[in-house]
Structure 1
Amino acid sequence: MGLKTAIVLTLAILAQAIGNTCLSKGMKFIASLSPAEDGFSLMMLVHAMENPLIWLGTILLILFFIFFAVSLSWADLSFVLPVISFGYIVNVALAYQFLDEPVSPKRWLGTAFIFLGVVLVSKTGAGRTAVKEVNAQ
């Protein structure tokens, strides 16, 4: 994996995890404003449009999609997708740290399995880069 691919994938993972955290925190705040309502309401939409955390989360998730798309132009999907899944680990850690979500030992274990899978896949390297080099010779 090249340096630019590593940087873009790291930015994608961070944008996705921080964006999800902001969006979750913003939506939980909105849900706390009107606990009597269980479903979607027009006021909920208005509050969402006014909440800076929701805007920040949305912008970061758009950036994630851009970084993800760019990384797919440089490496194989079979490489990029497992590496991006490292974001699951970051999401759990951020939810635990900043959203005060309880994370059970089983959930941490499952997250560790994801991490191990990402490590195994990342050891294979980005196949497209290797193919391009072989074809160029």
Structure 2
Amino acid sequence: MEEIRKISATVTAEKPLWYVFLLMAIGLASEAWGFVLIKKGLLQHPPAGPFLSGSHLAAVFFQLVSTPLVLLGTALEALHFGVLMELLSFGEVSFIIPLTSVGYVLTPLTALVLLHESIPPERWAGIVLVCAGVFVLLRYKTPS
């Protein structure tokens, strides 16, 4: 943790590390829950037609905005985007964006619990590789 603190000090000099991690936790939780709630809403109320079909676009749009879980999920995704904008306002893109890839772990776990999705070992292997890449990026000090 001390090494991450040293690295992040140059990347997020304007804000304390606890603030960065608090924002990351809020952003990642809202991202994972947002995606899962949107999916759950779509399962409860499947769209009337193809999303991008011109003739069905208005009907699909109004159906989606009248589905509470889709609206709540969309609000959580908007919160995630707001948190991301705050993080990017003071942190380096090359530090902040790799941290957000933790969502690649949280989102499948949330889907596993709430949607009862089955996640094959190959997909978990890919998720582990992403996490390993994040670990490497966090250990690399940005040249001055």
Q: TM-score, normalised by structure 1?
A: 0.80
Aligned pairs for 1:102-117 within 5 A: 102-117=118-133
Partner letter of residue 92 of structure 2? Answer: D
Write out the 4+ residue segments of structure 1 that deviate beyond 6 Å after TM superposition. none
- How far has the Cα of 1:67 moved from its partner? 0.3
Gaps in structure 2 of 5+ consecutive residues: 1-7, 9-16
Percentage identity across paired residues of the two chains: 24
In 2, the alpha carbon distance for the partners of 1:66 and 1:24 equals 21
**Residue correspondences, number:** 124
In 2, the alpha carbon distance for the partners of 1:124 and 1:70 equals 23
Kept in 2: contact 1:30–1:44 (CA 8 A): no
Partner letter of residue 89 of structure 1? Answer: V
Answer 1 or 2: which has greater helix percent.
Answer: 1
Equivalence for 1:39: 50
Equivalence for 2:83: 67
Equivalence for 1:27: 42
Cα RMSD for the two superposed structures: 2.1
In 2, the alpha carbon distance for the partners of 1:12 and 1:103 equals 23
- How far has the Cα of 1:38 moved from its partner? 5.1
Equivalence for 1:135: none
Q: TM-score, normalised by structure 2?
A: 0.76
In 1, the alpha carbon distance for the partners of 2:85 and 2:140 equals 20
Gaps in structure 1 of 5+ consecutive residues: 132-137
In 1, the alpha carbon distance for the partners of 2:116 and 2:59 equals 26
